[in-house]
Structure 1
Amino acid sequence: MSSLIRATSLQGIDTLILEFGANVAAIMQACNINVDFTQLENQYVSYRCYAALLEYCAQQFNCPSFGLKLASRQSFDILGYISIAAKSGTYLSDALDWVVKYLHLHSPALRLTAHPLEDDKSLFLSFEINLNPLPNINQVTELTIGLAMGAIKKLSNNQCKPITVFLPQKLTTSKYAYNSYFDCKVIEHRNSAGIVIAKQDLSIALEQGELTNVEAARNFLAKNSQYNSPLPIQVSALMRPMLPIYQCSNHTIAAALNMHPRTLHRKLAKHNTSFVKLKDTTRRALAQHYLTQGQLTISTISELLGYQEQATLSASVKRWFGCSPRAFRTNNC
């Protein structure tokens, strides 16, 4: 089930496809997806096929903003019981806690982490897609961030204003269009997709509406325990968005895990690793990924890995792979 997602994530895509003048059944068949759009709540689809469907539609309809268009048609309710429990909280922090703990029930391929930045005034909500190898996720990433942004604004009655949006890919349309959609600065080419909000916004009272099935939702979630990845995997996931903004320190990562740095050190030692080793391993994996893509300059890759100097990246790549970054790219692209 690790590569599945609830079919509710297809909410609205059938009508959007029709508006482009295409045949819904033919599009679904081309992407190996077979669902009953009247019963999405009871079905799952392959996450890879789901991501491929969004990319296929964007290309077929020459619509680089397809993911964002779909996000504007969807609601937080696609998360089912998770959204009901989240909306039953008192503050925005309560809602985020529910999603962080139980998003894996919507799709085990998705992971949301919330951790403070070093200024201690802002919070980074980071989304990870845990598939290996990673497919083309440009459209599904923009859909996820767009939907998350809409949910945060709805829950806070538009009181929570995003500060920055990070996207791992090159922007598929004009930067102005992104800035207008998200109503904040959008930065491309980051190791993780995510949203930066003010930490004080966590205390915003949720918009209270008439809720049903709250008890059923909480009981269901209580019976499905929180999924915890092994600590080294959690640390590596937290490192990725922190590297390019030069905030990947043991203090920052420990704070994100609600630990003292010494406690983190001891627990990592039990896994026969350390913060320094994990940081190096994470950088190595990222370097291998970016260098084989062939889209980013060596200078940009150096920044994404959190190096102040390009020469440091060159030395690391030679240590990891026995050659220079350019030689590695030539041999592997």
Structure 2
Amino acid sequence: MGNSPKHIAVYTKIVADKLLERGYDEETIFRGTAFDASLLQEEAPMVEAADNLGFFEHAADLTKNDLIGFQLSQGQDNRRIGLISYVGLASPNVLEFLLNYGRYVRVVSDVFDGDLSRLKDQGLLSWRYRIPSNIERRQYVEYSVTVLLNTLRHYTGTKLVPRQVGFEHQRKDHVEVLEEFYGCKIMFGAECNSFEFKKADLELPLISADEQLLKVLRGYGDQVLAEKKGQHDGLIPEVEQAIADQLAAGGASLDAVASELGMSPRTLSRKLANRDTTFFRVLEDLRKSLSKSYLRDSDLALAEIAFLLGFSGLSSFNDAFKRWTGQSPGQFRAV
């Protein structure tokens, strides 16, 4: 799958090193993953995004610790990921760091989809990952976002506290641990991942600012982006997002999703068929993935989950979930 979207695996390498330090052997660390010990020798590996994010979930399963991503990020800054970190750190202040970081993140990721349009006026940075919904990402998100905040705090010399943080994933345990570190309310199950900063904090200067270096790095970054433009396809995640936006309003239809994506239902069906899937299959996979996340990681009532997934009632949700898993929603949650 040479055209599969890639994502930098430097953080994955760091986590593997940390597991070695904790006494796990290489065979155990990499068993069941897409990686082997050669990862430890690479400087800036780029790997399939699903494999990258999946390794963090593997680490949580291996250590039986659902805070492992957050915990292993402590004391880390993001210089190890190279260009996008240094172009950010050469910026004059927090605002320009985030703008440059958001602009050049595609150098190291084909799946990061950021929205910078409200950053300057509202202090809001939001992003999603253009990957199928069944790819777990909680540990990676909590790791990478904590590293980003660590970096901003270190290079501003402040205890920078966001107004609010939002995570797409659900979490019902240890919320207070994360909120204590971030210093603010965290919204789990949010529409997208987000940071909201005070305007005064966006103006905080960076001790690493370097105007001449910034010009050089931006020039190089623009070259790399031009070469990468249009290389990777994110249709299925786009379809999933369009479906998710419509589910709680009473379900999602092929016609409505195709219209939102600016194409005819026939064209969308043909494009999905070229990717060996159908609209109904994408809808079912998304509902299945979201239902498991809601049941495992939230305290939402079953009727609320059925509503959020666009089912007409609890019984139809029960029937669908049994078809997917062989269990009722209640049995799945009780395990």
Do the structures match in fold with TM over 0.5?
yes
Aligned residue number for residue 297 of structure 1: 301
1:40 to 37, 40, 43: 43
Computed over aligned residues only, the root mean square deviation of the Cα atoms, in angstroms, reads 4.2
User: How far apart, in 2, do the equivalents of 1:137 and 1:91 lie?
Assistant: 29
User: How far apart, in 2, do the equivalents of 1:199 and 1:234 lie?
Assistant: 31
Aligned residue number for residue 3 of structure 1: 5
Identity %: 14
- Displacement of 1:32: 2.1
- Normalising by structure 1, we get a TM-score of 0.68
**In the TM superposition, what whole-angstrom CA distance separates every residue of 1:128-147 from its partner, at most 9, and x where no partner exists?**
12112531212112112212
1:271 aligns with 2:262: yes
User: How far apart, in 1, do the equivalents of 2:242 and 2:126 lie?
Assistant: 8
Matches within 5 A, 1:66-81: 66-81=68-83
Alpha-carbon contact 1:145-1:195 (below 8 Å) kept: no
Unaligned runs of 5+ in 1: 245-267, 274-280, 303-309
Aligned residue number for residue 142 of structure 1: 142
Deviates more, 1:101-110 or 1:287-296: 287-296
Deviates more, 1:158-167 or 1:201-210: 201-210
Alpha-carbon contact 1:31-1:53 (below 8 Å) kept: yes
**In the TM superposition, what whole-angstrom CA distance separates every residue of 1:71-126 from its partner, at most 9, and x where no partner exists?**
22432213311111112222222111111112121111222223549xx9743322
**In the TM superposition, what whole-angstrom CA distance separates every residue of 1:156-189 from its partner, at most 9, and x where no partner exists?**
3326421222223332642221122222222222
Q: Secondary structure at the match of 2:171?
A: coil
Aligned residue number for residue 272 of structure 2: none
Q: Secondary structure at the match of 2:61?
A: helix
**In the TM superposition, what whole-angstrom CA distance separates every residue of 1:176-223 from its partner, at most 9, and x where no partner exists?**
211222222222222322222223432222223679965542222121
Matches within 5 A, 1:47-62: 47-62=49-64
Alpha-carbon contact 2:170-2:294 (below 8 Å) kept: no
In 2 relative to 1, CA 157–115 (structure 1 residues): closer, same or farther, beyond 3 Å?
A: farther
Aligned residue number for residue 128 of structure 1: 128
User: How far apart, in 2, do the equivalents of 1:121 and 1:212 lie?
Assistant: 27
Aligned residue number for residue 91 of structure 1: 93
User: How far apart, in 1, do the equivalents of 2:261 and 2:29 lie?
Assistant: 49
In 2 relative to 1, CA 157–235 (structure 1 residues): closer, same or farther, beyond 3 Å?
A: farther
User: How far apart, in 1, do the equivalents of 2:324 and 2:39 lie?
Assistant: 42
- Displacement of 1:238: 11
User: How far apart, in 1, do the equivalents of 2:260 and 2:66 lie?
Assistant: 45
Unaligned runs of 5+ in 2: 249-258, 265-278, 326-335
Aligned residue number for residue 219 of structure 1: 219
User: How far apart, in 2, do the equivalents of 1:270 and 1:9 lie?
Assistant: 33
Q: Secondary structure at the match of 1:205?
A: coil
In 2 relative to 1, CA 105–116 (structure 1 residues): closer, same or farther, beyond 3 Å?
A: same
User: How far apart, in 1, do the equivalents of 2:77 and 2:211 lie?
Assistant: 15
User: How far apart, in 1, do the equivalents of 2:8 and 2:199 lie?
Assistant: 30
Aligned residue number for residue 189 of structure 2: 189
**In the TM superposition, what whole-angstrom CA distance separates every residue of 1:215-240 from its partner, at most 9, and x where no partner exists?**
5422221212375899xx98996997
Deviates more, 1:73-82 or 1:167-176: 167-176
Aligned residue number for residue 206 of structure 1: 206
User: How far apart, in 2, do the equivalents of 1:237 and 1:11 lie?
Assistant: 30
User: How far apart, in 1, do the equivalents of 2:172 and 2:293 lie?
Assistant: 17
Aligned residue number for residue 330 of structure 2: none
In 2 relative to 1, CA 221–46 (structure 1 residues): closer, same or farther, beyond 3 Å?
A: same
Counterpart code for 2:42: Q
User: How far apart, in 2, do the equivalents of 1:222 and 1:19 lie?
Assistant: 38
Alpha-carbon contact 2:105-2:112 (below 8 Å) kept: yes
Alpha-carbon contact 2:133-2:289 (below 8 Å) kept: no
In 2 relative to 1, CA 31–222 (structure 1 residues): closer, same or farther, beyond 3 Å?
A: same
In 2 relative to 1, CA 11–209 (structure 1 residues): closer, same or farther, beyond 3 Å?
A: farther
Alpha-carbon contact 1:81-1:218 (below 8 Å) kept: no
- Normalising by structure 2, we get a TM-score of 0.68
In 2 relative to 1, CA 239–52 (structure 1 residues): closer, same or farther, beyond 3 Å?
A: closer
Alpha-carbon contact 1:84-1:211 (below 8 Å) kept: no
What is the number of residues matched between the two proteins?
A: 286
Q: Secondary structure at the match of 1:37?
A: helix
Matches within 5 A, 1:8-27: 8-27=10-29
Counterpart code for 1:39: E
User: How far apart, in 2, do the equivalents of 1:166 and 1:270 lie?
Assistant: 25
Aligned residue number for residue 307 of structure 1: none
In 2 relative to 1, CA 270–194 (structure 1 residues): closer, same or farther, beyond 3 Å?
A: closer
